[in-house]
Chains A and B, each alone.
Chain A
Amino acid sequence: MNKKKYERILLSHGGGGKETSELIEDIIFKGLYGQNAGNGYIYGSHNGGGISSGISNQKINLLEDAAVLKSPQKIAFTTDSFTVSPIFFNGGDIGKLSVAGTVNDLSVMGAKPLFLSFGLIIEEGFGLEDLRRIINSVSEEASKTGVRVATGDTKVVPAGKADGIFINTSGIGEVLYDNLSVYNITAGDIIIVSGNVGDHGASVMSRREGIEMDVEIESDCASLWSIIDAVLSGGIKVGAIRDATRGGLAAVLNEWAMAADVDIYVEEDKIPVSGPVKGFCELLGFEPYQLACEGRAVFAVKPEFAEKTLGILRSHPLGKNADIIGTVGSAGIKDRQDSHGKVILNGIYGVNRILDYPSGELLPRIC
């Protein structure tokens, strides 16, 4: 395609005609599959491997209306939409996020991510070079887990009808580790977090609002399959895993407390938070535990497995700052605000307080 002629996305790119197929062939297919695509097919040369190699390495036709896939016995299926503003942030961009987000939703269910769908809604006038960057991020992030984009769609909307670019991804994963569920969580379980919390929320927010810090905060955006697989394949009896996204650690713990009707006690000085994120929160009056993460997993494990889990996490590149942050107790404290289980933070001076969900429109469009 003539680069100078089409520096920006035009409405005709979404018209379904020649420009559309040029866009898909030249930017999306090439960016996503590179040498792995040929004659409309992609071949499994990502690091599929493992017990399901026949499935993850299969040849996929990209030009039909739907991808026809051989599937494993038990699959996990999820979807997520991404509207982050700014589109490029320190530590990632909307493309990386769109892969990691869906990969993580599958991973926390014990499912090895296999296939993704990739839907784009692009605003007229969006820079082609930016689109290339985003597609490259998608390809790069997908290759980390060995997940393949098996189908996709591109739409262009008139200027002003979207904010640059929105992405939707759905994912199919093969359930390798069964029975991970919030309902497994019982009194006595140990809560472990895989790394510093609040990085993504603080990074995106500071970039968007033009708040410059001495050290620019980097998003934790990452695909978590490898670290979760390391724990689950290490013989650990894990009750539940959740990736902390919107609402951060506080939202995960509150969802668990509510669904399993338990009280969860966390030690404030055990929760890993980086210095710059603490500073950012001081400045703006946020709690780091309520800020979004995009590459952190929270585990509920039986006490006898806690130290081993921590060891596995810390020896993984994504888990260096992992820590045991609390324990699960039976739901004891009921008050008139609510009658279900709750999250109790033991503060730095030893006084307990509730750690609630964030409320209001604190952080719109962080993912």
Chain B
Amino acid sequence: MIIAPFKKGEFKIISQYASNSFSLTPLLKKGNLKAKTSFMELYSDFKRKGDISRLASIIDSEVKKTINIMEICGGHTHSIMKYGLHILLKDKINFLHGPGCPVCVMPVKRIDEAIEIADLPDVILAAYGDMMRVPGTDGSLIKERAKGRDVRMVYSPLDIIKIALDKANKDKKIVFLAIGFETTTPMTAALLEEVIARGINNVLFHVNHVLVPPPIKAILDSGDNLIDGFICPGHVSVMTGSGIYDDIPSKYGKAAVIAGFEPYDILSGVLLATRQINENRPTVEIAYKRAVKENGNMKAQALVNKYFTVRDEFEWRGFGNIPESGLKLRDEFRDFDAEYVFKDKLKGLKLRADEKNAGLSGLAVRTDNENASCKCGEILKGKSKPDDCPLFGKACNPENPVGACMVSFEGACAAYYKYRNF
């Protein structure tokens, strides 16, 4: 979801990872994975038709009975649909789509808060593009912008610095709607570090960063699921390493493979998971060694720990409150925390929401303002598929999304709507 402003030369940094082969390399023709300096060549290496059909036929021959694999991340869901990998592996692998789309899982009340903040005088609210359309109780950020509120789309957190230093904005508060999983949190932390280092005093953060493992555990704890194994998002583990998934095999006995986003990466992940399942040896494996190190990016982790701490609980759209699943700024940085700075202004909003939710709790909560027929909650937990939903493609479509999974481009329903494979 983040579009970072890549500069000349950065492609080369990416491409040197290509030389690190991983465990499936011998399956391929020798020399296929050597380092390339051209960005496109690097990517096309992981798309080659011959390699893909070979991997698909290996999986096909090794799977005896249909295996249910949850791909946690919306990026994986999109790749699977875009390339039709689920059709290639039809009857063998049943892909269940997980809760890994940060925009999809953002509850209505956080959007309402952002809208409330955007409505305050002398505030510039800055957000990533895909947050702009997400509907709150009444309206969305894009509608606020149309009303004349100063809501800006940013591609990288560091764009905030430019806005903050613009002389025209010196009397304004720039509030960054920070969102994303472990992948993007370090960029928010880097922004805060930069803001502090430069003594910039007009930037605030509305922090909505969330963690991947808690919803996975919530799904597994609920017991009511078909999942045999997981494909875990590669970019998250670039930051965190592989250890965050240790509970999946050790506590729940399920396979867990960290995979990249190219067709080759995904099928490699599926093959490793298939073998774990066939051999009944659940463990955490990395099918994306050209980018993921076991310990992850320690510098990024230190930066995140310096500024953020885990919230007691955080509400997820479709799930309700999940303990220790979200992040907030540490108390010593609360002067940068929009929730703290504007707490009086947001009080009315909170009261209204609490009233509505009185008597509801935990996974049973259907978050406010969600349509009763909407199956997003079930879909995010892997219990239903988008086309099982009566609203899908009719009342609910990308132009007028009803549920969370249609809202973001990365959502499972949006992927089904967009690609409709057959």
A binding-site residues for B, Cβ under 8 Å: 209-214, 275-276, 278-279, 282-285, 333, 335-337, 347-354, 356, 359-360
Contacts and interface: CB of A to CB of B under 8 A. Distances in A.
Output the residue of A210, A284, A347 with the most chain B CB within 10 A.
A347
A97 to B, nearest CB: 24
Contact of B422 (A283, A348, A352, A360): A352
A279 B83 contact: no
A347 B85 CA distance: 11
A335 B422 CA distance: 11
Contact of A214 (B39, B81, B397): B39
A275 B421 contact: no
B155 to A, nearest CB: 6
Nearest to B416: A337
B83 A283 contact: no
Interface stretch (B45-53, B115-123, B215-223): B45-53
Contact of B6 (A283, A335, A347, A359): A283
B48 to A, nearest CB: 9
Contact of A211 (B5, B56, B399): B5
A114 to B, nearest CB: 40
B11 interface: yes
19 contacts: A209-B5, A210-B5, A213-B8, A278-B40, A278-B43, A282-B43, A335-B393, A337-B393, A337-B420, A348-B47, A348-B49, A349-B49, A349-B88, A351-B88, A352-B84, A353-B419, A353-B421, A354-B420, A356-B418
B137 to A, nearest CB: 22
B323 to A, nearest CB: 33
Interface of B: 3, 5-8, 11, 38-40, 43-44, 47, 49, 52-53, 56, 81-85, 87-88, 133, 155, 263, 392-394, 397-399, 409, 417-422
A187 to B, nearest CB: 19
A352 B421 contact: yes
Contact of B421 (A278, A351, A360): A351
Given A336-B393, A348-B47, A284 B3 contact: yes
A204 to B, nearest CB: 15
Contact of A282 (B40, B52, B418): B40
B11 A214 contact: yes
B35 to A, nearest CB: 15
Contacts of B394: 336
Contacts of B397: 337
A353 B39 contact: no
B40 A275 contact: yes
B84 A347 contact: yes
Nearest to A333: B422
Nearest to B417: A337
B420 A214 contact: no
B8 A212 contact: yes
Nearest to B153: A361
Contact of A354 (B8, B38, B49, B419): B419
Given A213-B8, A348-B83, A353-B422, 6 more contacts: A211-B6, A214-B11, A282-B43, A335-B420, A347-B83, A353-B419
A350 B88 CA distance: 9
B5 A353 contact: no
B75 to A, nearest CB: 9
A283 B39 contact: yes
Nearest to A279: B40
Dominant SS at the A interface?
A: loop
B83 A351 contact: yes
Most chain B beta-carbon neighbours within 10 Å: one of A211, A348, A351: A351
Contacts of A212: 6-8
A359 B40 contact: no
B80 to A, nearest CB: 10
A349 B262 CA distance: 13
B396 to A, nearest CB: 11
A171 to B, nearest CB: 32
Given A214-B11, A359-B399, A353 B43 contact: no
Given A209-B5, A209-B155, A283-B6, A349 B43 contact: no
A336 B387 CA distance: 10
Contact of A359 (B5, B81, B82, B398): B398
Nearest to A338: B393
Contacts of B81: 353
Given A282-B43, A356-B418, A360-B133, A351 B8 contact: no
A274 to B, nearest CB: 9
A64 B146 CA distance: 42
Nearest to A345: B419
B420 A351 contact: no
Given A209-B155, A348-B49, A359-B398, A353 B38 contact: no
A349 B83 CA distance: 7
B8 A279 contact: no
Contacts of A335: 393, 420
Contacts of B398: 359-360
A152 to B, nearest CB: 33
Nearest to B390: A336
Contacts of B11: 214
Nearest to B394: A336
Given A349-B84, A353-B81, A276 B418 contact: no
Contacts of A359: 398-399
B371 to A, nearest CB: 17
A278 B155 CA distance: 20
**In the A-B complex, the 3 residue pairs with the closest CB atoms:** A351-B84, A337-B393, A279-B40
B84 A276 contact: no
Contacts of A360: 133, 398, 409
Contacts of B399: 359
B82 A275 contact: no
B221 to A, nearest CB: 33
Contacts of A350: 84
Contacts of A211: 5-6
A338 to B, nearest CB: 8
A366 to B, nearest CB: 16
B224 to A, nearest CB: 28
Nearest to B81: A353
A39 B81 CA distance: 65
Given A209-B5, A211-B5, A283-B6, A349 B39 contact: no
A11 to B, nearest CB: 22
Nearest to A283: B6
A276 B8 CA distance: 13
Contacts of B39: 213-214, 279, 282-283
A269 to B, nearest CB: 8
B181 to A, nearest CB: 17
Contacts of A349: 49, 52-53, 56, 83-85, 88, 263
A360 B142 CA distance: 11
Contacts of A354: 418-420
Contacts of B38: 214, 275, 279
A348 B82 CA distance: 10
